[in-house]
A and B are shown apart, each in its own frame.
Chain A
Amino acid sequence: MDLAAIFAVEILYAIASLVVISSGLAVVFGMMRVINLAHGEFMMVGGYATIVAVKSGINIYIAMLIVAPIVVGVLGVIVERLIIRRLYGRLVDTMLATWGLSLLLIGLASMIFGNTTTGISPPIPGFAIGQYQVNGYSFFIILAAVAILVAMFAVLAGTRAGLVARGAMQNPAMASALGYNPERVYMLTFFAGSALAGLAGGLFAPLLGLVPTIGSAYIAKAFITVISGGASVIAGLVSSAVLFGATSQIFTLATTPMVGEIALLLIAIVLLRLLPQGITSRFFRGAM
């Protein structure tokens, strides 16, 4: 019984972490058809922002939930203005330019912080279920994932800004005829996506030792989750996160983390072969 509870928590946690890691990329890809390969490095910057803030005496929650998203959001706007803006509609070029950006950020981070591991300890202590020990911070990540999904849905479906954003993505000419500037909408959407990446970086900062190259650990997973999800931002993100998170965690628990990871990658290949446009091209069509 206790073991089942632990398994359930572990599986939920795996799904939640995929949602947290991928949400920023999903917003940017789903809304703008831009793949930001520097997403992992945006998370890395969020992580460093959190750690620097905590070490200078700011409360850890404020650092994770407010400082990191703002820092990375601002970085995102700068990047959008300088690079992405010039490459809209050229998917492959954007991928290449952001790949360059990711290398640049890794280089910068290793010049500033050095190639050493830094970290902070999780603010929530572990506790026991029966005779097993659980990481209390896992619950915080699960909560955060739910909050992110609810907030994304609320903004996109329930607010004027969300409506304008969706409209401008679907038909920029019409949006601008109605008096909304698509450039501004793109910029704000990219800000939102980057801020989510920063938030994810902040949330994961206490879990893993932070090194400048940590982004590559995230980007592949985020990339696969988002692409396999398909065109719908939220439905795609949730469905592929559930599929990948659950399978990789089940394989991890049954064998080793390495097998879990390989299972995730293999499933992604099979899935893309069968549904090249992503899960939401066949299921949950028209969902948001």
Chain B
Amino acid sequence: MRGEMRHALLVAIVAAIVLAVAPALIGTYTLTLLVIYGMLALSLGLIWGFGGILCFGQAAFFGLGAYTYAIAAINIGESTVPFLLGIAIPFLFAAALGAMMFYGRLSDVYLGVITLVVTLLFFRFMNSTAGPEYVVGTARLGGFNGIPGFQTLNVPGDPSAYIFGDAYYYLTAVALLIVYLLVRWLLASPFGRIAMAIRENELRVELLGYDARARKTLLFSIGGAIAGLAGTLYASWAEIVTPGMFSLGQSAEIIIWCIVGGLGTLVGPVIGAMILAYLKFALGQQSVIDNTLVLGAILILCVLLMPRGVVPTLGSALRRSYRRPQTDGTRRRPGASPAERAHV
């Protein structure tokens, strides 16, 4: 455990240096979004890569966090409580949804359908709330147009001291690093060990006397809370929340980031999200080739050619060039070989 945490700290320090240098290359406004997407990818990378729970609706928690923040910020006017609510509400919602699914013993495909359906429910509902009767406190839900004009993040206790621009970028970057370290610590704890054991063989873990359902529910809720945090930060960055955050496209993108980056790692999804989101941003500036097409092609090619993702594939290629011959790990989807899992 201590070795792992030392490794995690090393990763965090390298990441901190990269994040500190990055503004020299890319504007902080774009970078902030990349960091937020990285955190969102991390949330799915945790529950999918380490818990074996494929959630087709991670966007639901992302959107829920953002909407919670926006609605609470309009009603309260100061950002500290809304910020905490933006994490707590998705956590509680994920706990309820997870309990329903895991205590019902639903498995992969059915889990996928339910999470997908829940996301669609939010999307449809939020899109249809244009009328003046849909209000929470003083906040109108605004339907397709979303909610603009709420209090963005401020220094706790001082509503007029907005955090924006470069400062906001550094805030999100620090948040990402903290989340990464906390998740690493969680995975190194007995809880994390058992969660990974459940991914490998749920029946065996249950026969050893652990309650897999409760652990999966908790892991799922933590994933929801991280996605909610990303949503909260997003809301404050974009200064508007729209139903598009709940769209299937958004959910698809999160999954693509994780696959491209690599499952069974934490850094992989974050890097995948940043690279692909930047690619999308860059592709959005030209009109020769449609960027949905490019994303689709990337997803297909990754599933076919690199089912373990870019980071683990590169990692094992590097390791192989150091010491060969090494037996290649199995090509199972959740998780890479134990050695890589512990170190990336």
Contact = CB atoms under 8 A, between A and B. Distances in A.
B110 A276 contact: yes
A188 B282 CA distance: 41
Given A107-B292, A107-B294, A276-B110, A100 B299 contact: yes
A103 B295 contact: yes
A106 interface: yes
A108 B293 contact: yes
Interface string B238-261: 000000000011001001100100
Interface string A56-94: 000000000000000000000000000100110011110
Interface string A138-178: 00000000000000000000000000000000000000000
A105 interface: yes
Contact of A265 (B106, B112, B120, B255): B120
Given A95-B112, A262-B124, A273-B100, A107 B117 contact: no
Contact of B304 (A35, A83, A106, A261): A83
B124 A106 contact: no
Interface residues of B, number: 44
A136 to B, nearest CB: 29
B120 A107 contact: no
Interface of B is mostly: helix
B303 A106 contact: no
A189 B264 CA distance: 35
Nearest to B125: A262
B109 A91 contact: yes
Contacts of B100: 273
B121 A87 contact: no
A106 B300 contact: no
Contact of A272 (B113, B303, B333): B113
A92 B106 contact: no
Nearest to B124: A261
A107 B107 CA distance: 32
Interface in A215-270: 216, 219-220, 223-224, 227, 256, 258, 261-262, 265-266, 268-269
B48 to A, nearest CB: 10
Interface residues of A, number: 40
Contacts of A111: 289-290, 293
Nearest to B252: A99
A233 to B, nearest CB: 16
Contact of A268 (B104, B117, B255): B117
Interface string A23-36: 00000000000010
Given A224-B117, A268-B117, A273-B106, A108 B290 contact: yes
Interface string A100-140: 11111111101100000000000000000000000000000
A226 to B, nearest CB: 9
Interface in B73-107: 100-101, 104-107
Nearest to A102: B296
Given A107-B293, A269-B114, A96 B104 contact: no
A29 B303 CA distance: 20
A276 B104 contact: yes
Contacts of A91: 108-109
Contacts of B116: 220, 223
Contact of A223 (B113, B256, B290): B113
Contacts of A227: 109-110, 113
Nearest to A219: B248
B207 to A, nearest CB: 21
Contact of A103 (B120, B124, B128, B299): B299
A187 interface: no
B299 A265 contact: no
A53 interface: no
B304 A101 contact: no
A54 interface: no
Contacts of A276: 104-107, 110
A9 interface: no
A214 interface: no
B54 A273 contact: no
A52 interface: no
A220 B296 CA distance: 18
Contact of A86 (B112, B295, B304): B304
A97 B259 CA distance: 11
Nearest to A100: B299
Interface string A266-285: 10110011001000000000
B297 interface: yes
A107 B290 contact: yes
Nearest to A227: B113
Contacts of A219: 248
Residue among B108, B109, B114, B296 with max Cβ neighbours from chain A (10 Å): B296
Interface string B131-156: 00000000000000000000000000
Given A99-B299, A219-B248, A258-B128, 11 more contacts: A95-B112, A96-B259, A97-B299, A111-B289, A216-B249, A227-B109, A227-B113, A256-B128, A265-B124, A268-B117, A273-B100
Would you list the 4 A-B pairs with minimal beta carbon distance, nearest first? A107-B293, A100-B299, A103-B296, A104-B296
5 contacts: A100-B296, A106-B292, A110-B292, A220-B120, A276-B107
